[in-house]
Structures are given as C-alpha cells and as structure tokens.
Structure 1
Amino acid sequence: MFLTGTFHEGTDGGGKTAGISRRGVAGSAVLAGAALLLAGGATPARARQRSRAATGVALRLPGPTGPYRTGVTTLYLVDRSRPDPLTPSIPERELMVTVFYPAREVHGRSVAPQMSAIAAGRFPETAPAVHPGLPPSGVDWAATMTRSYADAPALAGQRPVLLYSPGGGDPRTMGTGLAEELASHGYAVVTVDHPGDAGVVEFPGTTDHRPEPWRETAFRGDPRMDPPLFRTMIDTRVADTRFVLDALKALAARRNPDAAGRPLPEGLGRALDPRRVGAYGHSAGGTTAAELMYEDRRVRAAVDMEGYLDHPAEGPGRVGELYPVARHGVDRPLLLLGTDGFPDRRRLERSWSAMLAHPGGRTDRRQLDRAAHGVFTDYAAFVPQLRSARLLTAEDRVRLVGAVDPAVSVPWVRHHVRSFFARHLPTR
C-alpha cells in the first residue's frame, strides 16, 4: 500500500485481465454477491434514518457464505526481544491480533463488533487522513457488527492458519469480511495490527512507556515518499508476522501467548495447525505477505493484493531495489491480485513483472476491472453504503473502490483468495 492521500494507496495489477468476465466466475459471483449483500449489506432506508438521527449511519458487513458459524477472540502479544522500531522509546514491540475460527457452538455468546469502542471513536479522525473522501462525521462506526461470536468454543479439528496484514494506516478490522468468509469455510484466520503504522490500535491496558490504552500512527506522510521509513515499515511488518507465527505455535502447543494472561476460547489451541500456514495482505500488507513467504518457510502460500514488491526509488530518474521475493522468486505459490484503477500502475507493474518472470510457474495474477485499491477491504461494501447515504461524492466512491458493484467485487475477491488457499492449503 501506502496510504491514500496523506498516505497514498494504489490500485492495480496491470497487465492482462483475468477479471469479472472470466467464464464460471462472473455469473456465480453476481448471483452469490446479490444474495449475500441482501442478507448482510446496505442498511434499509428506515433503519438508516433512525441510525442517522441517533449517532450516525450504521454500516453492515456482507455475511460469510461458508457452512461454519465463526468465533472470534483477540490476543495481546509482546515481543520482548526487540524495541519498537517505529517508536524507539517503547522498549518492547506490542501487537494486537484477532483470531477468527469455526465455532463448535455459540449458545449464550454475543456477536462481536467490528471495532472496539476506542478504535471506533478515533476512527473518524484517522481514516480520512489515510483515505481522503471518507466522511469525518455522520457514521456510527461502533454500530457495525461482525457475524462472529466472542470467545465461542472452537470446533474440533486442526485448521490451516492464514495470516492477514492490512494496508498501511489501515486497522486489521478493515479486513473483517474476508477473514470471516475464510473462517466460515474452515480456516483459522489471524488478522494483525502493526502499531505505529495502523491509524490507531487499542490495547487491553497501559504501560509505563504507553500511558494510554491505545497507540496512534507515527507516520506523518506517505512512507513510500521516504525510502528509509518505508524499509523500516516493511521490515517491521515482516518481523511482526514472524513473531505472530511463533506465538501461534505456542498456542497450538496449549500455551497461552496472551501477554495479559487473558483466558482463551475453549479448544482454540487444538484448532490450529502451525504446519499449514498461508499469508495474505493488502497493499503494504501484500508486500509483507509475499516477503514473509520468502523469508519464512513456514508460509506455504501467499496472496498479495496490490502491494509493491520493490522499495521506493532513492531519487528522481532512479528505480527502486526489488525485494528479495521479486529478485529471487519463491518455490511456493504466490497470487497477485490487482485492479485497473491503480494510479501508480507503471511502478507496480515493474516489480510484479519481475516476480512473474521467474521460471517454475509458481506465481499467478488476476485483475478486477472498474475497481480501485480499497476494493480488497471492507470499504468495498462500506463505500457504496456511504455514497447511498450521501456521505461521500460519486468521485470519491470511484477513487476509493471503483465503480464496480459490491455484488460483483466482494464475491470476486472472496472467490480468488479462498479458491487459491483451497488448492494449496485445503481444509481436508
């Protein structure tokens, strides 16, 4: 990624199209998309009016399509082996992750909100800085609910583990819809916040070096415009995700990695298979997922949703150094997903073409047309709802997610990510 506006996120795969007109995808995607959006998409007009009269428009996530009900929990992880790279005054690297998983039963459990109260309260300040055009008011971000039940017991059986890294400046919660979709089809999905990078991250308490129970981004501009900062950003993310994999291994061994010692959902450790791991990410998170697979052989397959695979250029007229994954290639499957609306197509194309040029055929790419960079996140469903509520302009809608209907874009992204992992990390 990199952020849009204050931080600029991009939007494309470039090259040959394998988009919504592909036989067997378009028709089923439209039908499935229409069904899931009717079930869990835009708020009906009356409810919208009631919500706006209270605290703002309430947005709804598309519902998952798999056969499993899903549970959700959060983990507070602390890597005491390294100081925080983005805020050196913090002596230990703190992380927050969310785990979505198939639930055994949900009786007596509450459906979890998409965002915590603090994160939702601060979101109107941070999100428009990342994505200009998002409304600074008029939305009740705390009202959006997931379809997952808080701390529900996990369904028996070891599940492949999928790690998700969000785009720069975005919270992990903006990948909720896709994470729930994958969990409803039998995966354990772990979404990772990168503090100091994400707009705001809420923790379960305070520390001597962090007097508030949250942390805001340390960025004050587009990291892609600052090559040393961008290098630190991606290096930090890769180290974060490798540490999360270590924590999940401990969890699978029946140890509790939560630094606050909070109780875990029943059976969660037994539901994870640390030998079958995939990674996916959006923008800077896509860069992270691809490079993580190169650096850590525990990752057996990865999806890069419109993330550069090179460093930014050090000066005018120069080209950026390729990341090792693009320079040397990998011997495991990598899927590149892009759109036709990415404004920095030429630079993205250079690193993706280098990745695709490696022999062995382990990298593939697909492109969604009439789409823009945010279409790989929950904004694909949210932005059209905001436009219907007249909280953003038609131009901002197109710039953020494109003109594509969410009844097409949401199933398209879900189809390609889920079918890729079904091939390379089947749930058995």
Structure 2
Amino acid sequence: MSVRNGAGGGDARQAGPGRRTVAATAALGAALLLTGGCGTARTRPGGRHAGHRRDFVPRLPAPTGPHRLGVTTLYLVDPSRHDPWDHRLTRRELMITVRYPARTVAGHPVAPQMTPGAAQVFAGLDPRFHPGLPTSGVDWAATRTHAHTDAPAQPVRRPVLLHTPGGGDPRTLGTGLAEELASQGWVVVSIDHPGDAGEVEFPVTTPQRPAPVRTTVFRGDPRTDPDLFRTMIDTRLADTRFVRTQLAVLAAGRKPDAAGRPLPDGLAHALDLRRTGIYGHSAGGTTAAQALHDDRCLRAAVNLEGHLDHPSRRPGQAGPLFPVARHGVDRPLLLVGTDGFPGRKELARSWSALLAHPHGRARRRQIRHTAHAVFTDHAAFAPQLQTAGLMTARDRNALVGALDPARSIPAVRDLVRTFFARHLPPR
C-alpha cells in the first residue's frame, strides 16, 4: 500500500522535516519541458509582507492524447454500509472524479487539481507521510489540471477504467495518469476511500460529519497491523463494487449524486460498462488485482506495486496470500514494480506465487531507477520542488527515484496505456 510512501516499506512518520534548500540542477531541463516548466511562483494574498512572499505552484504534465478533457465529481452514498473507520457514520460516503473525452470545452473552466479545503489539509499532512516534502512554500490549491469542469462528453460509448489510489493517498494524487488515459479515449473514474485517504472534501456536511473535509485515520503503516490492513483492503473492494453499481445508474440516465447535482451533458451515454478495467497504486494495486479476481465484470487490471499478501502476525513469517495470488486469474493482469521500493523483496513472494500459475494471464514489468511514488503525481512534482530549492536530491530520489521525469512519466504512462489498449481498446 502506500501510506504516502507505500505499502510495506512505507514510512508513515508523524512529522516531516522542514523546508529544504538545494541548488537547482541542469539535469532537470528536459523534465521541465515535459511538465510545461518548473512551476510558477504565486504571491500569497493577505498579510503585511504579502507582496514579497511567493509560493511555488507545481505543474502537472500535459496529457498526450488527441482528446480534450471534461471532468466532473460525484458524491456517492451507500446506505447499506456503516463506515468502517468511524462508528458514528451509519452510511458510507465516497467521492469520485470522472474524466472523459469532451465534445467541446468552450465556456467550461479548467479544473484545479484539489479543492481549496483538501489542498490546505494536503499541504500540512503530506509531508508527514513523505518526509522531505516541503512543509511550506507551496500553493497546492493553485495547481491546475488539463480538464474542463462539466464539459459535455463526446457521444461515443467508451471503455471505463476505475482508479484506486495508494493507501493514505487522495484520488487527486493520480491526476496525471488519469488525464493521460482519458485523453487517449477512456473514461477514467478515480475513487477516494474516506478514512483511508489523506483528505477528502465533500460538497455537503451531515450531522454525523459536520466538517466538509475528512482526514485519514492512519497514523502508521497499515502493513504493520494485520487487522487494519485487512479492513483497508476489504473496504476498498466494497467501495469499488459500489462505485460500479452507481456507474450503472449513471449510464441508465439517472443521477447517482447524493446531493442531486446535475451531470455533464452526454456523460450517461459515454460509458460502456461491458468494457471495464481497473488500475491502482500500492494498496490500490492490491485492490485492483483482487477485484479482478472477484468480479467477472472487470476485464483487465494493472497493479502498480501493490502487495498480494496480508502482513504476518508473526515476525519473520510470511502472511497469507490473497485469493488472486493463491488461485491466479484468467483475465489480463499487469504487475509493475520499481527497483527502488524498500518492500520489493517482500512484494516478490506474493507476485511470484501469482506468476507461477501455469495458465494465468498475469505479466510483470519493472521500471529501473525509480521508487514507489513514481506512479503518483509526485513523479512530476518532486523534481520541480528540487529545482525550486524546496526538496533535496536525496529526498526526491527516495520518493520517486533518480530517473529523469522526462523518462519516468512516459514509462509509466506507456506501460498502462499499452496494456489497456491491447485488452480494452478505446475504439
């Protein structure tokens, strides 16, 4: 999983270091072209010295596909489940983001990566889980995506890809890859798992949840707590099943949003749920692989460095394998890892068990000179922060690896895109 640094081997510390300063390096030049520059500085409003204080704005890499993008968010409520992380919540609430090829984007503003409330929490929380990220000097709320809010969808039935992020990560931290896939012709649905996700901002409050932003309950790596880890994955699997039912509601022309917000024009007709895949990072990769095993409606899956076993209750002993690793899977499953993941030896046991099935459909790939968070937007952000003097080279390498983002970002995109193009082509 990834409690902001990854499943097993993740370091979910309580406090991160302060702001780091290093000299910018010329080696990042190509990466800055890929990401559209090294970010921008924005004057912070308010305060006596506001005119002299400027916060860095990270930039997301541009998608490379032919389609302009629309994006919308949905607030979903499952009345059949209590929330597993907070006993006061008698209904399970979720937030999802849907990205899709747009018919036109005229008159529809470009969406921010994060809502203001979520960005404020992210700024203080993320450095606790990713030591080395700056604790100040970054305006996360100002980062813009390449998708346009509620733009009308193209009237074409398209395959659907579910995205589940790493443990402790919000769905927004997978924006770059989701935009790339949507620009190539898929509808991409990113799922937040509240209570697990670092921060989730809802459009409404409730008597049981009076604050709009809900934060993670994790205070350490769930891989060190077998019961916590089991609850996390079981909850994610149930969340994923529920999202699929709500997408069917959407595809039928009804409004699944619990707040009654309208849908973008044409979106209901853009979903081909007969062709649905799933991908995820870390705990999301665990979820994606096991969901493929459990749900015959899922046609293909990508596991980006997620464990396929439970943590052991006895130090030095292996934990039980997930059913997908014990029994294999008869539909395509891609496993992608890095050589810089501290938990790679532990990961290898469960992956090897899966790959040993003689009639299975699983394949494995590795991206060299990278680390666990290269599958997130930190692949673009960390080098920019290093160049801006807000992060050391050592911390950047521990987070995403030393590979230039001009190579690492396309490498991740190409593996995932090529896999789904083979098994769920967006024709």
TM-score, normalization by structure 1: 0.91
Q: 1:38 aligns with which of 33, 36, 43?
A: 33
Q: State the Cα distance separating 1:10 from its structure 2 match.
A: 5.2
Within-5 A mapping of 1:251-270:
251-270=250-269
Structural mapping, 1:166-185, within 5 Å: 166-185=165-184
Structure 2 partner of 1:3: 3
Give secondary structure in 2 for the equivalent of 1:57.
Answer: strand
Aligned to 1:415: 414
- Offset of 1:214 from its aligned partner? 1.4
- In the aligned structure 1, how far is the partner of 2:411 from the partner of 2:29? 12
Tell me which residue corresponds to 1:99: 98
- 8 Å CA contact 1:75, 1:96 repeated in 2: yes
**Is the alpha carbon distance of 1:394 and 1:43 closer, same or farther for their aligned partners in structure 2, counting shifts above 3 Å?**
closer
**Contact kept in structure 2, 1:104 and 1:153, CA below 8 Å:** yes
SS in 2 for 1:234: helix
Q: Distance in 2 between matches of 1:403 and 1:36?
A: 12
1:17-416 pair list within 5 angstroms: 38=33, 40-43=35-38, 47-48=40-41, 53-416=52-415
Query: What is the CA RMSD across the aligned residues, in angstroms?
Result: 1.9
Moved more, 49-58 or 122-131: 49-58
CA distance 1:55–1:245, change in 2 (3 Å): farther
Structure 1 unaligned residues grouped into runs of 5+: 12-32
Distance 1:67 1:60 in 2: 20
Structure 2 residue runs without a partner (length 5+): 12-27, 45-50
CA distance in 2, matches of 1:109, 1:258: 20
C-alpha contact (below 8 Å) 1:10/1:306 kept by paired residues: no
Matched residues in 2 for 1:242 and 1:36: separation?
Answer: 38
Give the paired residue count.
Answer: 405
- TM-fit CA distance, 1:390: 1.1
The answer to whether the Cα contact below 8 Å between 2:4 and 2:129 also exists between their aligned partners in 1 is yes
Q: Is the 8 A contact 2:4 2:126 kept in 1?
A: no
Amino acid at match of 1:43: C
Query: Equivalent pairs: percent with the same residue?
Result: 63
Contact 1:8 1:130 in 2 (8 A): no
Q: Deviations over 1:15-63 (max 9, x none)?
A: xxxxxxxxxxxxxxxxxx998952643336xx44868954510110000
Q: Tell me if structure 2 keeps the 8 A contact 1:2–1:224.
A: no
Cα contact 1:9–1:283 (8 A) shared by 2: no
Following TM superposition, the consecutive aligned residue runs of length 4 or more in structure 1 with deviations greater than 4 angstroms are: 4-11, 33-37, 49-55
Question: Which moves more between the two structures, 218-227 or 108-117?
Answer: 218-227
Query: How far did residue 85 of structure 1 move?
Result: 1.0
Secondary structure of the residue aligned to 1:370 is coil
In 2: Cα distance, 1:5 partner to 1:66 partner: 29
Give the aligned residue type for 1:362: R
Counterpart residue type for residue 377 of structure 2: D
Cα distance per residue 1:189-208 (max 9 Å; x no partner)? 00000000011100001111
Please give the per-residue CA displacement for 1:271-320, whole angstroms capped at 9, x wherever unaligned: 00111100000000000000111111111000000000000011112211
SS of residue matched to 1:121: helix
Does the 8 Å contact 2:338/2:372 carry over to 1? yes
